[in-house]
Structure 1
Amino acid sequence: MGISTHLQKVALLAVLILAGIVSQAQVRVSGTVYDRTQMVRMAGVSVMSNSGAGAITDSLGHYSIIVPVTDSISFSYQGKPTMKFAVREIPFNRPFDMSLHVSVMTLPTVVVTEKMRGYKFDSLERRNEYRKVFDYAPDYLTSGGNGVGAGVNLDALLSIRKIKRMEAFRRFLERDEREKYIDYRFNAVLVKKITGLQSPALEAFMKEYRPSYELLLSFETEYQYYKYIRDCGRFYTGNNTSPHQ
């Protein structure tokens, strides 16, 4: 009986030690957080654990947190937490992605980068290069004429063809500048991110729903512009009514 009792104590001690080791073992949980469409990655989402560890998703929606195996984690965005997920039930060999029930209205604003600002610099350089064209404004009447008529500039009247060519060239430069602005705003990376479309449907969609320069200027906020792309994408794939209704 004495030996049996001793073995039981040893076994119990071993179990307690093993349980202590397991409870102290930590693992890394990582993944990506998306909105409810599972197409838009969400930045600024809080990842919290019962033990006090925490992390925040980056600009691409990625997160990484080290927690005990016995812990639980939850996700929170704008004060709205999700249910808790037991760490021991999370597969450690693949990313633990999460989709939050968040509408596009609560998505963060796109951050302006140096590359995006390059469009304005290119436009300024171009206008400096063609300043004579953009600032061209011929005077048909001058205060000091050649003694003919009431101060009529005969050189201007004799250069109507040149004036028309300059004005046509200026209109061409302005149209080309507007088209480049549309290309800059309505780009494949942004459209793919919002609509989830893949090639060749992506190219067909961008050709069919390419906005005009005036339409782009009519959007007061980035949200309105993104919503336009989202609604057009849903209509294009047959998941919604016309975006103009």
Structure 2
Amino acid sequence: MKPRLFLLLLLLTLKGFGQPKPLEGIVFDKESKERIASVSIHDLTNGIAIYDNLKGEYQIIAADGDILVFSKQNYRSDTIKVQSRAQLAVSMVRLAIQLKEVTVHNTTLTPDQKLEATKNDFTKIYGSLAYGDYLSTPYGGGAGLSIDALWNSISRSGRNASKLRDVIQQDYEQNVIDYRFNREYVAGITGLKDDKLTSFMFRYRPGYYTASTMSDYEFITMIRANLRRFLRSQRTYGLAPLVSK
């Protein structure tokens, strides 16, 4: 073997012995124990910087005594000194506590649910005092007078119950309107805010029949048509802005 070739092989062999073996390991969340991807791993000693893979695994050229810094957004950076060639498992701590998912249910009652709750609170006026049909069907057929309806028409308790039912029905109808024609919904369609939104909703508040029978498309079309009228009236009757001299 020629001396020059021998020296070349010797240098390559020595270089191979001097090259440190890649350090392998994984990175995981200390709390959840789940692996963390895209963690920056920087060897401060030799300047090499890499990222771990999607499985949280990494390989980096590092010698014993090298200082490795593991960092990722929303995690506390961790600094480790390489002491052996064994696989290195690094646990990282979140900067903020990870809250468990919470499902929030809408607790707002619909008008029908409110009416049902009211009926449960006033069971008597919707029970024996609720009879309003004067005609009854007696045993054996034919039509006869309903004793309950007749009594309720002349008794104070029956008349009061009837009035209370009327009040509850009126309240229910207003709840239906408020439920559908609410500020957030109208503001989203019209783009109006504050006093203008209040004025618009007061002026163009729909009736119970409209609110309870119109489809969503018809209801939105009505609001937009009223918005055009409202804006025209604002331009026509609005006061001119004050000019300071």
**Band of TM-score, shorter chain:** 0.3 to 0.5
Compare relative contact order (CA 8 Å, sep 6+) and give the higher one, 1 or 2. Answer: 1
> Structure 1 length normalisation: TM-score?
0.42
> Structure 2 length normalisation: TM-score?
0.42
